[in-house]
Amino acid sequence: MDTHLTAAPRGAWRRLADRRPRLTDLTLGGGLTAFDMLTLLAREPAPGPAGVVLWGLQTVPLLWRRRWPRAVLCAMTAAFVAFEVADPVPGKIPGPFLLVFGVYAVARYTPVPAGLPWVVLSLLTAVTTDLLTGRTGPPQPGSLEPITATTFVVFYGAGWLVGYGRRRIVRQADRLGDLNLRLGAANGQLQDVNARLREANERLRAEREINARQAVVAERARIARDLHDVVAHHVSAIALQARATEEVVQDDPADGRRGVARIAATADTALVEMRRILGLLTAGEERDGDAGPAPEPSLRHLDRLFAAAEAAGCPVAATLDEALGELPPALQISAYRIVQEALTNVLKHAGPTDVRVALCQDGTTLTVAVENGPPADGHRPPPGSGRGLLGVRERVAAFGGTVRIGPRPHGGWQLSATLLLEAPA
């Protein structure tokens, strides 16, 4: 309801503003013409109809002063000349008063190069006519009375200056309006840019959060894989050593004590590696009695795995290239974990049996091979989760390699993995 009440007056005012120039021209042209004609009719003696018409024709063209300002000035000048020549009203001196409105219209609505020559021509025509008809005397610089030609120059100049000044003011206002429009458009564009930037920042923030979550998931998977490798390997060795110690502790206490010592050493090794892995989650926190996490395992530490396997009753025959310690650390860690998982599977699923380990580097690849003999008699393998072999395949795939896992033709099991020295991008 309120919207309709306020919208109607606004529309009416807008329509009135659009019609205002036409109303102004009608008032100026028609009103001035009527006033001049009524003033002329009030003279004594009253002039004839021809004089009144010629007098009124001088202001009628003002009705079109905005659309055709130069034509209006020419028509007014022609009417002025006709009135001067016909002399229908003896003693009437029209002067330049009415022509000033035409000069103003030319200066207001016409560019200077196009309008000034017409104003000068009108001035010369009016002054010449006034001089030839004897209605004015020679120019008198010290006089502004209508009876002198100087009056024409002064009034024409004043009309031109007022119209030209008005034209400049309007043009500057239009320029300011255009500038405001461009600034408004630029402001709108800046707002659009800001909106797009905010949207891009939101997307980047969401992508960072997704990447951070993915990194956390990947890190957790890696830590879980390392924990599985460490715990499964050492716990399997401890279980196997415990069974062997249980069998000899009564018949040979000294050998039993050595078995218990091996169990304790294997457990200590498992704890050290677990502390190192868990230290990744608590980096920066103080740990009582611990100077820091142990160094990452490498192929230089394979003797630890072999010692743990041999302590559990699995003799290990190792064939290792001398340049293994020069491989990239990430590759060494993966190869170490592959050997560790293979030996863990031997301890879990085969028990005490012969094991052969070979690591060979041929310049572009690293080959890791682990083979074991048939399971020991009466060995009962525990159920497995399969995470170990899945971890092996993931580590090999990370280096663009291949892996083969399966039984040997003459009994036992084998694992052969080939890793590229440079991981694919």
Smallest CA-to-CA distance from 171 within 107, 119, 122 is with 107
Give every CB contact of residue 89 below 8 A, 6+ residues apart in sequence.
Answer: 40, 43, 47, 51, 55
> What number of helices (H) and strands (E) belong to the chain?
11, 5
Report the distance separating Cα 68 and Cα 45, nearest Å. 37
For 123-152, what is the mean pLDDT? 69
Predicted TM-score of the model (pTM):
0.41
Query: Out of 120-124, 247-251, 279-283, 416-420, which region has the weakest mean confidence (pLDDT)?
Result: 279-283
Sequence-distant (≥ 6) Cβ neighbours of residue 144 within 8 angstroms: 150, 151, 154
Give the model confidence (pLDDT) of 23-45 as tens digits.
666 666 556 666 665 665 556 65
Radius of gyration of the chain from Cα atoms? 55
Q: What is the pLDDT of residues 379-405, one digit of tens each?
A: 777 776 677 788 888 888 888 899 999
Mean pLDDT of the chain: 75
What DSSP assignment string belongs to 4-69?
Answer: HHHHHHHHHHHHHHHHHHHHHHHIIIIIHHHHHHHHHHTSSSPPPHHHHHHHHTTTGGGGGTTT-H
Both structure tokens of 179: 């500038």
CA atoms within 13 A on the CB side of 5: 2
Which of 316, 118, 341, 393 shows the shortest CA–CA distance to 236?
341
Instruction: Give the C-alpha separation, 412 to 406, whole Å.
Output: 9
With tokens 């055709």, the residue in question is: 68
pLDDT band at residue 14 under the 50/70/90 scheme: very low
Q: Which of 113-122, 208-217, 263-272 has the highest mean pLDDT?
A: 113-122
Q: Which of 93-107, 257-271, 344-358, 361-375 has the lowest mean pLDDT?
A: 257-271
Q: What are the contacts of 258-266 at 24+ separation with CB within 8 A? A: 262/311, 262/312, 263/238, 265/311, 266/234, 266/237, 266/238, 266/241, 266/308, 266/311, 266/312
Domain parsing of the chain, residue ranges: 18-187
Burial of 241 (0-12, 13-18, 19+ CB in 10 A): buried
Q: Please say if the pLDDT value at position 284 is more than 60.
A: no
Distance CA 337, CA 329 (A): 12
pLDDT at 46: 61
What pLDDT does residue 372 have? 92
Query: ∠133-136-139 over CA atoms, to 5°?
Result: 125
* Alpha-carbon span 191 to 188, nearest angstrom: 5
Q: What is the pLDDT of residue 359?
A: 93
Q: Residue by residue, what is the 3-state secondary structure of 140-209?
A: CCCCCCCCEHHHHHHHHHHHHHHHHHHHHHHHHHHHHHHHHHHHHHHHHHHHHHHHHHHHHHHHHHHHHH
The token pair at 134 is 């004897």
Q: Quick one: CA dihedral 38, 40, 41, 43, positive or negative?
A: positive
- Return the closest-CA partner of residue 93 out of 54, 62, 136, 123: 136
Cis peptide bond N-terminal to 45, omega within 30: yes
- 374, 409 Cβ separation under 8 angstroms: no
Cα dist. 391→47, 300, 401 in Å?
A: 122, 21, 14
pLDDT tens string 79-116 = 888 877 776 666 555 567 778 888 888 888 888 888 88
- Tallying the residues shown for the chain, one arrives at 425
Local structure of 73: helix, strand or coil: helix
pLDDT range class, residue 317, cuts 50, 70, 90: very high
